[in-house]
Amino acid sequence: MDKQPEDIKGSIMLSEYVEAIRDTDVLPESDHRTVLMGLYGEVGGIMSTAKKHVREDKAYPGFKRAAEEEFGDTLWYLAAYCRRLQISLESIFSKVAQGAHFVATCAASDLTSDAIAKIAVPASPMQIDDALFRLGSAAAALLDSSDDILVIRDRLERFAHCYWEALHASHLSFADIVRMNIAKTRGAFLAPNTAELPSFDDQFEEEERIPSEFRIRINQRQTGRSYLRWNDVFIGDPLTDNIADPDGYRFHDVFHFSHAAILHWSPVFRALIKQKRKSKARYDEAEDGGRAIVVEEGLTAWIFSRAKELNYFEGQNRISFGTLKTIQDFTTGYEVSQCPLKLWERAILDGYGVFRKVRDAQGGWVVGDRMARTIRYEPL
């Protein structure tokens, strides 16, 4: 693929979009029903988001981002369905743009190969409620079984037509939705290229960096409290589970160590070892300060509450996409938001793998390798 998501700016061809997301489709090629149900569910998400926007108005400030995400996910399922039918997504939208209900206008193109782009817009823009009802009806029609490819194609074109109308009625940019969906799906489903991952300490001296390698000793004493030791120095405070039903949360610092080793981010770990980036005020206050620490601690506690319901992720090799999206919301505005969700998945699963061993042995060594982005357990 010639263009990576971060290189795509301005206009983007739907053929480029289809190619960019191809490897994120991990569903069986013969599975049409799951894809259609996913598409129908995402259309419901669009309608739900719009309903909140109408009902809550300015009290729902996240409408634009939420709507862009729902429209993007709907497009992903539409592309996946077209791929299984061997129908070009671009041809579906091209046919729609030529319809009598759209007019063509011209705009300066962002593509270096073409100075002018033709843009199709609805001749008579619809009210958002009407547009969304039509979109829902068109999605329902796709669920009706038919073996006639001409009938299916006709339904696809009608759905694409309604999708376009709803997009226009919502005052959203199609190009922004496409780019956002590429970044989101590739970041969540494809293993990241290590060479392209962010490293947040390169411009700082050694005493302000997260160590390239670290070994931290955790042991539990007869009091039930856990203690941390780094370079033969006790760090942090002795911890208990702070809950009536003991669950091992006294060892939760393992997760901060995993964040540090794999994500290259952990304001909590920096505070524990006193290696904040104080030479630059913006980093010291915004990235390593009290608010960032609260965000990481809150996120860690929230993930832990989900993990308890799933036996602390034992035997799992995936984290639910809903959980990963919540993490994305938690970390918006902080440097770690540059990390793809797939890397977060790795940090969580590897961190919980070490946590379970520390909990069962009531202590151990946690060894982090920031250069290799790994974390492992060694017994005391």
137: confidence class by pLDDT, cuts 50, 70, 90: very high
173-187 mean pLDDT? 91
What are the φ and ψ backbone dihedral angles of 145, each rounded to 5 degrees? -70, 140
Q: Who's near 293: CB < 8 A, 6+ residues apart?
A: 267, 268, 271
Q: Cβ distance 267 to 292 under 8 Å?
A: yes
- Using left for φ > 0, alpha for ψ between -120 and 50, and beta otherwise, residue 146 falls in beta
In the chain, where are the structural domains located? 5-190, 195-378
DSSP state of 263: I
What are the φ and ψ backbone dihedral angles of 99, each rounded to 5 degrees? -70, 165
311-329 mean pLDDT? 92
Q: Cβ distance 265 to 200 under 8 Å?
A: yes
How high is the pLDDT of residue 196? Answer: 86
How high is the pLDDT of residue 191? Answer: 87
- pLDDT tens-digit readout, 42-51: 999 998 887 7
- pLDDT tens-digit readout, 268-294: 999 999 999 999 999 999 999 999 999
Q: Which residue has the higher pLDDT, 340 or 95?
A: 340
159-176 mean pLDDT? 90
How far apart CA 21 and CA 201 sit, in angstroms, is 31
Query: Taking all residues of the chain, what is their mean pLDDT, rounded to a whole number?
Result: 88
> Can you give the pTM of this predicted structure?
0.78
How far apart CA 320 and CA 71 sit, in angstroms, is 20
Q: Cβ distance 326 to 319 under 8 Å?
A: no
